[in-house]
Amino acid sequence: MNVLVAGGTGCLGRSLCRVLADRGHEVTAASRSPDASELPDGVATTVLDVTESDLTAAVAGHDAVVNLVALPSHVESRDRSHESVHYDGTRHLVSASEETGVERFVQLSGLGVDDGVQTAYFRAKRRAERVVRRSSLEWVIYRPSVVFGDGCAFTPFVERMSPPLVTPLPGGGRMHLQPIWVEDLTPMIADGLETDRHAERCYEIGGPERLTLAETVTTIRGGGIVVPIPLLLAGIVARVVDPLPQIPFGRDQYRALHLDNTTTDDALDAFGVDPASLRTLSAWIETARGDR
């Protein structure tokens, strides 16, 4: 199969390209500024900006397209908003795929899309899912919890938002996450490309542990003390600092704190995956520290 991986040079993309190449597929990693040195041997590269309306030249000739292009929920700018990247970008890729005869389209979404969280990130993700579902393509949608691993944005974001010794967290960090290791997730995404029974399915996928935000922070930080901040006060702070891009906490992040980011119906069984075989965040952190 000839596969175009949009967002193929990011954390998830590099891992997926490696998995697909190892399985014998012809793989092209597409991004705004692809660097072949970061990719496995044999993986081609092409320039792709999903905010451009006509992507047929990049998509043509492929049997399948995987859309991994994403902005982290706390990142947005005037020229690259969640609307332009997640929603418009998906529209452009789906349109080009339909026009050029692509058979299968895989969309990376996220846990929480169905929960009605009113943030720019989740609104754009919801609209993007609708575009994929209404298309004429054989589609598969993945909604993972937070993804960790080498080069992924999650752990640096947590380190940035949490001082090393004493970390103030809204509500004491009681919301739950289900972190999944990138190298556990990407084989399941590859399975969705290869197996017809996954067509027109949406999979929620989480890791082997349900951790509170406080537990997640102390795991990544290697200890420390969490100081609870009243949610009302945190909401006021979020409104004040929302316009400041250098602070990774604003109104959208505050709203997201009110709902757990965990699966209600984990799809691991659909891929024959035993939860006990998945890597925990603490195990990965321990290995990563040992390699430094």
Question: pLDDT digit string (tens) for 211-243?
Answer: 999 999 999 998 889 999 888 887 787 777 766
**Angstrom distance (rounded) from CA 180 to CA 159:** 18
Average pLDDT over residues 143-154: 94
- What is residue 70's predicted lDDT score, i.e. its pLDDT? 87
Q: What is the pLDDT of residue 247?
A: 64
Q: Which range scores top for mean pLDDT: 20-24, 78-82, 173-177?
A: 20-24
Residue bearing the bigger pLDDT, 114 or 189: 189
- Report residue 75's pLDDT band, with 50, 70 and 90 as the boundaries: low
| 8 Å CB contact between 227 and 167 | yes
Question: Does position 126 have pLDDT exceeding 90, yes or no?
Answer: yes
What integer pLDDT is reported at residue 109 of this predicted model?
96
Q: What's the rounded mean pLDDT across residues 158-167?
A: 85
Predicted local distance difference test score (pLDDT) of residue 234: 75
Q: What is the mean pLDDT of residues 6-14?
A: 96
Q: Which amino acid is at 205?
A: I
pLDDT at residue 199, rounded to an integer: 96
Instruction: Report the distance separating Cα 277 and Cα 98, nearest Å.
Output: 37
Give percent above pLDDT 90 in the chain.
67
* pLDDT: which is higher, 206 or 256: 206
Region 158-169 average pLDDT: 85
**Average pLDDT of the residues in 162-183:** 91
Pairing of strands 176-177, 211-212: antiparallel
Instruction: Please report which helix (H) or strand (E) contains residue 214, including its range.
Output: helix 213-221
Residue 292 has pLDDT above 60, yes or no: no
CA 212 – CA 222 distance, rounded (Å)? 15
Rounded mean pLDDT of the chain? 91
Report CA-CA distances (Å) from 54 to 94, 95, 100, 125, 156. Answer: 11, 8, 12, 21, 34
Which pLDDT does position 170 carry in this prediction? 86
Taken in order of first residue, the domains within the chain and their CATH numbers are 2-290 (3.40.50.720)
Mean pLDDT of 254-283: 89
Rounded Cα distance between 241 and 238, Å, is: 5
| Mean pLDDT value across residues 59-76 | 88
Residue where the block lists tokens 């993972």: 144
Alpha-carbon gap, residue 39 to 245, rounded angstroms: 31
121 has pLDDT over 80: yes
Whether 251 shows a pLDDT value over 80: the answer reads no
Q: What is the structure's pLDDT at 74?
A: 62
Q: Is the pLDDT of residue 25 over 70?
A: yes
